[in-house]
Amino acid sequence: MAKIIDGKAVSQKIKNALKEEVKELRKNGIIPKLAVIMVGEDPSSKIYVRNKSIACNELEIEYEEHILSNDTTMKELLELINRLNKDNTVNGILLQSPIPRGLDINEAFKAIDPKKDVDGFNPVNVGKLCLGQDSFVSCTPYGIIKLLEEYGIEIEGKDAVVVGRSNIVGKPMMQCLLNKNATVTICHSKTIKLERVTKKADILVVAIGQPKFIKSNMVKEGAIVIDVGINRGKDGKICGDVDFEEVSKVASYITPVPGGVGPMTIAMLMNNIVKAAKDQSKY
Ligand code: NDP
């Protein structure tokens, strides 16, 4: 039976340390601040944004929210981003995805000042991650690396397989694992005989948005399985992309959903805001 990787506990530990750091920064007149932009009424986004505001509150990070209507134009969105780029009290800017069709999210990410890009989606930070340079690393992959490290799981030399190639999870995950010297394969919806590839993984990261898609026959005995998915199952309950019940009998370690990767994403966002505040103040 696999050991459970407790993302809730690890994220709390990270947040506790950051809280102390924020206290120190505040004593020195540095007040970290996050500005969140949400466009439209996506119900999941509302929950994610709320969780981020709660974490900021817990860590005494200032938080401001800009909720824009569905009919916002690209010009209006870019104007807001530019205003926040120039606002010296704002250290981090986060544009919650998805945004309404008709708006170009890549243009918007490109407009965010790389120094304030706490989600790590600006092409400058994506490029720096590829080059192995200091950058803001996208929070979900970064959180997964921290989880593996916290559990003393060696990455170097391992065969790692990432299922899903989105710009926000799959691709940066691949890069993070490569930077840690894993041998990485990335799969997607056009991969033929997926199980042929997933079965070779020592470390399997799944981010596809398909409830309980990964079954035990797709996983190598003793593999470390990281489930990024957040889905609503047929029973109405939140579940991951991995069939936890089956796969936990085969894997050596596994992340649960909820309570695995999700809380780590928020903790690493907090980490990136504190980093942004320190970098900008040359603390
Ligand atoms: P996207 O929809 O942007 O990307 C999904 C990826 O999965 C695509 O690359 C797609 O391939 C691939 N894919 C879909 N179906 C299959 C399949 N049957 N076999 C192989 N590959 C497949 O999703 P995201 O990356 O944004 O999110 C993935 C999941 O992670 C979602 O459930 C999301 O809610 C969750 N999530 C969780 C976070 C957390 O903090 N825990 C943070 C962000 C996301 P192709 O490119 O060929 O279309």
- CA 117–ligand 1 middle distance (angstroms): 22
Q: What is the DSSP letter of 131?
A: H
pLDDT band at 196 (very low <50, low <70, confident <90, very high): very high
Protein residue with least CA distance to atom 40, ligand 1: 262
Residue written as token pair 């200032």: 62
Query: Which ligand 1 atom sits nearest the alpha carbon of residue 213?
Result: 18
**Residue of minimum CA distance from atom 17 in ligand 1:** 189
* C-beta neighbour count of 132 within 10 angstroms: 10
Q: Which residues pair with 187 in a beta bridge?
A: 163
Q: Give per-residue pLDDT as tens, 100-155.
A: 999 999 999 999 999 999 999 999 999 999 999 999 999 999 999 999 999 999 99
How far apart CA 58 and CA 42 sit, in angstroms, is 25
* Domains of the chain and any CATH numbers: 28-116 (3.40.50.10860), 139-262 (3.40.50.720)
For Cα atoms 199, 168, 10, give the angle at the middle one, nearest 5 degrees.
Answer: 75
Strands 231-232 and 238-239, by their bridges, are antiparallel
Would you call 142 helix, strand, or coil by DSSP? helix
Q: Which residues are catalytic?
A: 52, 96, 119
β-bridge partners, 162 = 186, 205
The whole-number pLDDT of residue 283 equals: 74
Is pTM beyond 0.95? Reply is: yes
Q: Whose CA is nearest to atom 30 of ligand 1?
A: 229
pLDDT single digits (tens) 49-65: 999 999 999 999 999 99
Q: Which two tokens stand for residue 36?
A: 């969140």
Output the average pLDDT for the chain. 97
Alpha carbon 45 to chain centroid, angstroms: 14
Spacing, Cα 129 to ligand 1 middle (Å): 20
Most informative mutation of 137, 145, 169 for ligand 1 (most atoms within 8 A of CB): 169
| φ, ψ at 39 (rounded to 5°) | -115, 120
